[in-house]
Amino acid sequence: MNDTPSSHPTPPIPPIHFSPPPPPPPPPAKRSLFGKFLSLIGFLVFLGSIFMNISLLMVLAMEGISVPGMKKEVLQSGDDDQTVAVYRVDGVIDSEASDRFSRFHRHVADDEKVKAVVIAVDSPGGTVSDSEQIHRMISDLKNRGKKVVVSMGGLAASGGYYISAPADEIYAEPSTITGSIGVITGVLNLEGTLDKVGMKMTILKSSHAEGWKDMLSSFREPQPREKEYVVSLLNDMQEQFENVVKEGRGKKLQTRQETYQAVVGEGPDAKEVTKTETAPFNGKVYIASAAQEYGLVDEIGFLDDAYHRAAVLAGLSKPNVVLYKRHPSFFEALGEATGPKIQLDAKSIQNAQTPQFLMLWKPQW
């Protein structure tokens, strides 16, 4: 063998290079305790919103809607062609109450299956205009041949009685407070308050209307002639109220003259005089038994007594008693679920400054 080294030298082995490891990622920034708290609150609000929406949808699905915008709950099963429709008027009678009643009126006025209507009233009254609106619609139901019975709850005073007057019969619970046949108005006087904080309201009026344009302004004491004129307006409305009661109650109404002592004048000119008033047109409230003596109510009883009587008046053998309730929109229901809110907006301020003529029993004025 030839041991001579090969003429082709062995190629050198390339050196091995080791790359340094990549630097570790920077640690995540620590969130502040306040940031974590905000995130938690946001998450809880999100969960609460989902739960609330699902709950409302489930309620709406379970209750159902039998007519657009109204829910119907059967209080007593019977013949569908012998329906007694029941509707509640609760709380202060304002534009919302009038609008809600209008919706009920539209549903039952032309419904030939509805033979009688029971209005469950639990209200201290409200504005003259809105009380008139509901009164007119109740009268219209009577004119369409439907028997109307009112069932008074704990309170059916002033405008609450105004809307009850046209009923064929009126039932009151033993402890019902009713009456308060009268009209009232009032406005906040901020004059002294503004003086204390160094503020003054400047009011400019057109020349021809300068005597009356700011009548009953919140920023000054009313002049004697303003008071006299407003009282004359209230007296006109009082007369209208009394006529509504007389027309509605007819020969059932009993009135009597009552006298009382009153002090007129101030200081050394003050003196005691005897005044006369006509009950029950004196603005006084009465418990049910006393109201019955004046003929303001017919019977002492409860809601079921009222709708049983309505069925008898309508000649129904198998009455189907149905409670109509306004179905709130989804967003209204959501607003109610989140609780009441105190608002101080332009409308609230305007309402506080604008005098309103009220058929309202409000002894805490």
Catalytic residues: 158, 213
How far is CA 20 from its chain centroid?
A: 77
Cβ atoms of residues 190 and 203 within 8 Å: no
| Distances, alpha carbon 129 to alpha carbons 46, 67, 245, 350, in Å | 43, 28, 16, 18
Q: Are 320 and 306 in contact (CB under 8 A)?
A: no
- For residues 154 and 177, the answer to whether their CB atoms sit within 8 Å is yes
Q: DSSP 3-state assignment of 149?
A: strand
Q: DSSP state, 90?
A: E
Interatomic CA distance for residues 76 and 318, integer angstroms: 10
Length of the chain: 365
332: left (phi over 0), alpha (psi -120 to 50) or beta: alpha
In whole angstroms, give the CA distance from residue 297 to residue 141: 20
Query: Do 149 and 121 contact (CB within 8 A), yes or no?
Result: no
Here the tokens at position 342 are 């105190």
Helix (H) or strand (E) holding 75: strand 70-76
CA-to-CA separations, 135 to 73, 138, 168, in angstroms, rounded: 24, 5, 13
| Segments of 137-223 assigned E as strands | 147-157, 169-172, 177-179
